[in-house]
Structure 1
Amino acid sequence: MATVNSTGLGYLSQTNIESLVTIAMSYRQQEVKSLQTQVSNLGVLRAIYSDVSTKLSALDSVAQQLGGQDPTYSFGTGKSVSVGDVYMLAVTADSTASPGTYSLEVDSLATAHTIRGSSFGQVAEALGLSGTFYLGGKASATASAVTTGSGVAGFGTAAVAAGATQLGSGDYSVEFRQSGGVWQFRVVDATGTAVSVNRADGTTGMTADWQNYSGLAGTTFDTGRGLTISFDSTAPSIHYIGDAGTPKVTYTAQGAAINVTADDSLNSIRDKINSATYADGNQVVASIVDNALVLTAGETGASHTIAGQDSVGTVLQTLNLFNADGSVMNLVQAAGDAKLIVNGSMTVYRSDNSGLNNVISGLTINLKKTGTTTISVTTDTSSAQSKVQELLAKFNDAMTYLRAKTGVTQDTTSTSSSNSNPTYTRGALADDSVFTSLRYSLYSALMGSTADGNLGDIGIGINKDTLQIEVTDSAKLSTALSQNMSGTQNLLKGIGTAVHNLLSSYVGSGGSQGILTLRQNSVDTSIANYNATIQQRNDLIAKDSDQLRQQYYALQQQYLNAVQSLQEWTSFGGTASSSGVNLFG
């Protein structure tokens, strides 16, 4: 039987076809890779813009602080304080404290008024007592005028406004002043501290600020806290607490009403006392010691004595706390002020042992025990020096980065760099004059002269080895801050303002976008456009590849059909040799 020899025929496998498609599309894939390289390069550029923005923003933030554009920051020296006996006092100083050494003797500490009753056999059993008594004040409030005139005809009492706290027992003065030709008044306590009262203009709420006196002459003003003030019809005169003729009143608050029933025990009476509402500063704390009720004033000081009075029944008298006339039966500790002697001759009394911020100006003193010690206050420039160092650090960080990205450097790793043909590497921003010029402008802004001098005047210069701006004379900087703070502050304010004004166009200011944000947005747009083009190219490549692949498969089928036809012809006895036939050339 005749046979057909198909050895050498150009039969293509699927792998052969895919290879042909890949080769045909390779030049178009190269175009896509070129676009992807562009995207990658733009990504690097955007990252550089972002880094520059971060570093310049950090520098701008410090510049604004020094330049006065940041209202939350105040540049200046602080004060440090040391105490000879830390077990006697704890002292802090603010920026207003005057440097120096102070002698302070604590003759006595402020004490809280404490009284006690009789001991009972059981504290949880009913005492069989009933009645009502007032504690922390009297059965009704009273106002006794000490001084009238100068705008005030008298004082009185009234109900406490809803939600308000009654004034505590003590002396109060009405101060008058003129501001811009307008008479104003306020109410102060015995320490001169303004207290909150109703608003004189009729609006809701209370205020401790000065209020306009206009329209109040000849009227009675209700403070809303139990005290009323009757203004006379004559014009007031300027008066402050301590002045002769300043209107003054002694106010005795109404106490908290404590109702006792026959089934109340010593424990329940204690709890009722502790849960009661008292006038400001008249709080009473009850406890039980040795089966006896002990009452302690909520605040220390001679003015905070516990007042008690039976109204119905004799509960307080039976408990052996107060006599019928309100006098104390059993005193445990008298109410007393702290007595301090400053610099050996000035005696000061205070009702508290802590938070004493008006003994020595600028100092807050907490008393721990009696004795004598010294307080030393010195100027502390550490915070100001830290801010200067922060400015230099942010500047150097930004400049180092800009120098690397805008400069041209020799490649020391290249084999040709040691011969007559060295190679160089250009920074990504080397051809961008916007940033190359920024380096020089920044340096001029920081190190240039102002109306108050330059940084060299306070010990700041350039390190020629590292090209960093740094403190070259720390003693000079320290002296400038401690002995000429005003001049140094003005110098740094001018420099901070110059740096901020320069950087604002780069990082933005007042809601406007800076160059760096605009550059990043532009890069983002370019990347998006390139990615869209890449996607379109890939889609076309995929489409054209599929068409080419189908064409190859069609030719392959034509070849197989021809082979089959040849085999069928030879089956009739013919002989054919297709050796070397290649349908695809």
Structure 2
Amino acid sequence: MGVKTTTGIASGLDTASIVSQLMAVEKAPLTRLQSQLSTVESQISAMGKVKSAIASLQDAASAIATSSDLYTYTGSVADTSIASASTTSSAVAGTYSLEVDQLATNHKLKSSASIDTSSGGTLTIQLGSTASGSFVEKSGTSAVSVNVAANASLSDIASSINSANAGVTATVISGSDGNHLVVTSSESGETNQIKIDSTISGLGFDPDNTSSSENMSQVTAAQNAIVKIDGITIANTTSNTITDAVTGVTLTLKGTTGSGSTTQLTVANDSSGLETKAKAFVDAYNSARSTLKTLSQYDSTGSSTGVLNGDSTVATALNQLRSLLSTSPSGVSSSYQYLSQLGISSSNDGTLSLDTSTLETAMTSDFASVAKSVAAYGDAFNTLTTNMTNTDGLISNRISGLSTTSTNLNDRIDAMTRLLKTVQARYEAQFTALETLLSSLQTTSTYLTQQLSSLSKSSSS
């Protein structure tokens, strides 16, 4: 609201300065409102940081709130050349003897180097098994025909087979005696034997008549893996990846132990998973606490006083977090009722620390009880922090209240700004009228002075 009035010609007054000074007094309430708004907006921003910090703590607490999520396992095989093992949360700790007598293999055939394709022909490819004594087509599959053009090369035939999606792959190997067509089943196991009915001599294969001169040569037979765990033969091992033999364990077979020989499969609790999550919780708690303390701290000099100093919401949140640390929440194991027994302790300034040695000793002694107690504390903190940050929670309500205050202050500032424009316009109009009046009076005064002077001269003569 700039002052438009200039220095008074008639009055000699600096009316622009006078109006500015008058408006400075009028604007004092507006300045106070703007200062209040700035403070409220700073508080809203700070409460946003508080909510974010509490939400991060909630995430860390949620990660340890369910005991089953804390049960992670490692799987290992003593002889890594035989197999590798991976686990899921449903695994159970234990050791097992593992015997691998045979790996699952893909059926592989090769042709001779002298194949006559001059007349072309057709290849009919099927997958199946001869386990019943004769070839039986694999359930869910059907024969696929591949047309071979006259004088087609083996590479052309391989390309046609690969495009037919017959459950096999084909390639050509160049040997010293010429080119050989090699056909391999896409999947391993005895139900993936290849049968090829061919009108081209030397490109067929009949599993029921392997001695036929029309057959391709068998490079690798289609066979299942033969595996025993604790002496129990595992069924349906068509693949070298076995997922259903031991609950929660996936075995990837690499080699054979030989009949009667075994190696050891071990499934163990992975304490590092729980320890990592416990450390993340401690870090998140300390971060949240530091954020709340910094934003609400008091400094006698005023230079470092937090924008939320004296805010009851922050004080309440800090008290609730601190109080929960010293309680024994529902669901804890009787063996580990307090955080200190789990290696988590609070220093004089309220900061948490994790003694990994204490935690590891406890996990080694009784992993199940430790997991139960950690989950109980995680659930308690998850519930508390969720209640703080949800829509009608402690922190959200405070932010909502501050936002309402901000809206009201903005409305009052807008209304006062409009009023002050009217006040300034009135002052400027009044001083303009004053200048006009003084100018008129000065004109009248000059006229009267001139008239009196004329009368005086007339009387003298």
TM-score by length of 1: 0.62
Residue type matched to 1:77 in 2?
A: Y
- In the alignment, structure 1 segments of 5+ residues that lack a partner are 1-7, 147-166, 171-224, 226-252, 415-423, 576-585
1:309 aligns with 2:197: yes
Identify the match of residue 60 of structure 1 among 52, 58, 82: 58
For residue 418 of structure 2, what is the amino acid of its counterpart? D
Letter in 2 for 1:411: S
Unmatched 5+ stretches in structure 2 = 1-7, 455-461
Superposition deviation, residue 116 in structure 1: 1.9
Which amino acid is the alignment partner of residue 94 of structure 1?
T
Task: Please point out which of 67, 71, 77 is paired with 1:77.
Answer: 71
Amino acid at match of 1:331: Q
1:74: Cα distance to partner? 4.4
Aligned position for 1:583 = none
As a proportion of its length, which structure holds more strand?
1
Q: CA deviation at 1:528?
A: 1.4
How many residues end up aligned between the 2 structures?
428
Deviation readout 1:124-169 (Å, 9 max, x if unpaired): xx62133x4421248xx999799xxxxxxxxxxxxxxxxxxxx962
CA distance in 2, matches of 1:273, 1:342: 39
Q: Which residue number in structure 2 is paired with residue 187 of structure 1?
A: none
Q: Which residue of 2 aligns with 1:169?
A: 138
Q: Counterpart of 1:396?
A: 286
- Aligned 1:11-50 pairs, distance under 5 A: 11-12=11-12, 16-50=14-48
Q: Percent identity?
A: 25
Provide the residue aligned with 1:543 in structure 2: 422
Matched residue, 2:3: none
| Equivalence for 1:212 | none
**In structure 2, distance between residues paired with 1:285 and 1:431:** 72
Contact 2:73–2:270 under 8 Å retained in 1: yes
The aligned amino acid for 1:135 is: I
The 5 A counterparts of 1:143-542 are: 169=138, 225=140, 254-260=142-148, 262=150, 265-278=153-166, 283-290=167-174, 291-310=179-198, 314-315=199-200, 318-322=201-205, 327=210, 328-338=215-225, 350-353=237-240, 355-358=241-244, 362-368=248-254, 377-404=267-294, 409=298, 411=300, 428-430=308-310, 432=312, 434-450=313-329, 452=332, 453-464=337-348, 466-471=349-354, 473-508=355-390, 512-542=391-421
Match of 1:127 among 118, 134, 140: 118
Question: Helix, strand or coil for the counterpart of 2:358?
Answer: helix
How many Å apart are 1:322 and its aligned residue?
3.3
State the partner residue of 1:197: none
Using a 3 Å threshold, how does the CA distance of structure 1 residues 359 and 448 change in structure 2: closer, same or farther?
A: same
Q: What is the rounded CA distance, in whole Å, between the counterparts of 1:137 and 1:366 in structure 2?
A: 25
CA distance in 1, matches of 2:32, 2:55: 35
The CA distance in 2 between the partners of 1:323 and 1:380, in whole Å, is: 51
1-structure distance, mates of 2:91, 2:379: 29
Cα distance in 2 between the residues matched to 1:503 and 1:470: 20
Deviations 1:103-136 (A, max 9, x none): 76766543322222233589xxx62133x44212
| TM superposition shift of 1:362 | 4.1
Which structure features the higher share of helix residues?
2
RMSD: 4.1
**What is the one-letter code of the residue matched to 1:21?**
V
CA contact (8 A) 1:65 1:74 kept: no
Secondary structure of residue in 1 paired with 2:275: helix
Q: What's 1:580 paired with?
A: none
SS of the residue 2:188 aligns to? coil
How far did residue 330 of structure 1 move? Answer: 1.9
Superposition deviation, residue 484 in structure 1: 2.4
Asked if structure 1 preserves the Cα contact closer than 8 Å seen for 2:63 and 2:277, the reply is no
